Structure formats: C-alpha cells, structure tokens
Amino acid sequence: MKVLLPGNVDLSDLALPSTAAGFTYAVDQPVPDEHADAEVLVVWGNPEWQLRDAAARLKGLRWVQTLAAGPDVVLAAGFPAQVVVTSGRGLHDVTVTEHTLALVLAAARRLNLLIRAQIGHRWAGELGGNQPVRDQSFRTLRDAHVVIWGFGSIAATLAPILTALGARVTGVARTAGTRHGVTVVTEADFPTVLPTTDVLISILPAAPSTRHAFDAEVAALLPAHAWFVNVGRGATVDEAALLAAIRAGRLAGAALDVTETEPLPPGSPLWDEPNVILSPHAAGGRPIGAPALILENLAALEEGRPLRNVVER
C-alpha cells in the first residue's frame, strides 16, 4: 500500500509495516504523477488548492489522515465519498490547552493593557498594587464561571486545569450529560448559562452548523464583564458583532487565536482594539503522537476495522 507522508512534519519515528511503502511529498506542490496511485494521503498544513488537486488526481485513494484536529480544510477539498477521512483529534490537546490558558490568564491579568503600558514606559499602577479581593470584573479564575463551548477532546484536557485553579466549568456540546465530571449542556440552555458566564471559551469546529455561532444574540446574553476566547475556528464568530459588543462596553474583551480570514488583514479593526488579544493561529501547530495514530489507522484499514477519528460527512 502506497502511503504519502507530508514533508513538513517530523515523522522519523514512524516505522511503517512491510505491507506499506511510505513516500514523502511536499505539501505546497502538486503530488507528483508517479505517486498519483497512492492509497493513503497524510495531510498537514496543505494549502486548499493542493488538497483540491490531490482530490481530483489521486484516483486510487482510500484514506486521508489529516494531522489537524479540525478537518474542515480536507472536507472542503472534495475527496470522493468513498475516501475515509480521519482527523488528528487528540494530537493537539496539550498545546491548545496551554495556549487557551495563556489567553484566559492574559485576559484576567490584563496583559493586553500591561504590554501597551510597557511599550509607552508607563507604570500601570491602576492594574497593580492592592486590588479588591472581589469585584464585578473578571480578574481571577478563582470562583469564575468558565463555559467551554465545544466540549470535546481538547476540553477534556483543559477543564480539569481550570477547575484546579478554582473555576466552575460548564460545557456546551450537541448532547447534554456529564463528561469528565463536568456538566455539559446543549445550546438550547444558553439563555440560562451565558448570563452567569465570566469567560466563554469556544473550541468549536468549523462546520455549516457552527458558522457565526457567536453572534450578537450570544454577545447580548453575556454579562458586560465577560471575556470571549476563541481557539476553535474563526468562521464560528461574527466578528462585526463581537467588535460592536466590545466597543459598546457590552463585553469586556476577546482573545482570539483564530479569525475568519487568516492571516488577519492589516486593515482589520481587531488589531487596534485595546481589549482584543490576537495570536496567529498559534494554539496547536505541533501534532503530538502522529506516528502512533497513523500506524493504528493503517492497521485498521488493512484489517478492515473501523478507523480512529473518522469524520462524519
């Protein structure tokens, strides 16, 4: 079985079985004609045009494994329905958790304002020294109500750390229940959950059902002191509605690792908003455990068993 491996990620630990022949390809080039007979394509950071080209030319393809947790770019490429697509769900749990914590704590401790003050050589005394133990603004995770919207693999790693720091965590997903000790509700319960939320963290995938999920209505249900943190996908946020809520003082701020257009255009008003923290889709980016996932799914494919992380489509 011919397996095409992306050249932009270290897969030197991947010991393919004797039944498979691995070939490394450049993700920013069309797959060479000599490899158009591949049955397996492993994907990491391939541009959309490259995937569309592969979808059209690799006629014998059986399985596409993306190392990204979000399969949206692969799904948009148009691979035929019989090609199994699996995601890198689980490979980014730790790094995205770290980045989310960094954004949440930056918001709580107002690093956005502190860095602005530092650049101006100004001692921001209003943000230091004696502070009230409790006030109406979001300043600490202790006793904060943190809502994680998209309570999947990453949330399972993030939630216990937030809890350990004293937060009360609620999850939002498509089905309700208790997951990893956390109460998970559906979006139907937003009207009861959002008004008591201090931080809304979105880890939603990009899908037709999640497009502009964060909109003016959601913003209006949040208290004015709440922060919104997005490490999922930019397409899930109506950025105009978000910015309007922040500018009107109806929302304290937003920390965004992902935006609707990436890279964020230089003219975007998000850049200059003091209470917007931006990072350049930097939360994941380092798939951890990719060789084990590839080997597990390769064995499953060869033996006719179900693969891990199959994407519904």
Ligand X SMILES: NC(=O)c1ccc[n+]([C@@H]2O[C@H](COP(=O)([O-])OP(=O)(O)OC[C@H]3O[C@@H](n4cnc5c(N)ncnc54)[C@H](OP(=O)(O)O)[C@@H]3O)[C@@H](O)[C@H]2O)c1
Report if residue 27 touches ligand X, rule: CB under 6 A: no
The residue annotated as part of the active site, out of 52, 179, 211, 281, is 281
Half-sphere exposure of 69 (CA within 13 A, CB side): 27
Rounded Cα–Cα distance for residues 257 and 219 (Å): 18
The distance of closest approach from Cβ of residue 77 to ligand X in the complex, given in angstroms and rounded to an integer, is 16
What ranges in the chain are assigned the alpha helix state H? 48-57, 72-75, 93-108, 111-119, 153-164, 190-193, 216-221, 239-247, 290-303
**C-alpha closest to that of 230 among 220, 221, 219, 44:** 219
Closer CB to ligand X, residue 168 or residue 211?
211
Report which DSSP code applies to 214: B
Closer CB to ligand X, residue 69 or residue 298?
69
Among 98, 187, 189, 296, binds ligand X (CB under 6 A): 187
Report if residue 92 touches ligand X, rule: CB under 6 A: yes
Report which DSSP code applies to 237: B
Report if residue 103 touches ligand X, rule: CB under 6 A: no
> ∠ at Cα 110 (106, 112), nearest 5°?
80
The distance of closest approach from Cβ of residue 97 to ligand X in the complex, given in angstroms and rounded to an integer, is 10
Give the x/- contact pattern for ligand X in 132-171, rule: CB under 6 A: ------------------xxxxxx----------------
Report if residue 290 touches ligand X, rule: CB under 6 A: no
The structure tokens listed for 135 are: 């006030």
Tell me the residue nearest to ligand X as measured from the CB. Answer: 152
Among 51, 69, 75, 147, binds ligand X (CB under 6 A): 69
The DSSP bridge pattern shows strands 182-185 and 177-179 to be antiparallel
> Do residues 41 and 27 lie in contact, with contact meaning Cβ atoms separated by under 8 Å?
no
**C-alpha closest to that of 210 among 46, 47, 75, 66:** 75
Report if residue 185 touches ligand X, rule: CB under 6 A: no
Active site residue 233: yes
Among 233, 246, 253, 293, binds ligand X (CB under 6 A): 233
Rounded Cα–Cα distance for residues 195 and 246 (Å): 16
The distance of closest approach from Cβ of residue 234 to ligand X in the complex, given in angstroms and rounded to an integer, is 9
Phi, psi dihedral angles at 274 (to 5 degrees): -55, -35
Which of the residues 250 through 289 are near ligand X (CB under 6 A)? 257-258, 281, 283-285
Among 109, 134, 174, 247, binds ligand X (CB under 6 A): 174
Closer CB to ligand X, residue 206 or residue 241?
206
- Active-site residues: which are they? 233, 281
The residues that touch ligand X, with contacts defined as CB under 6 A, are 69-70, 89, 92, 96, 150-155, 172-175, 187, 203-207, 209-210, 231-233, 257-258, 281, 283-285
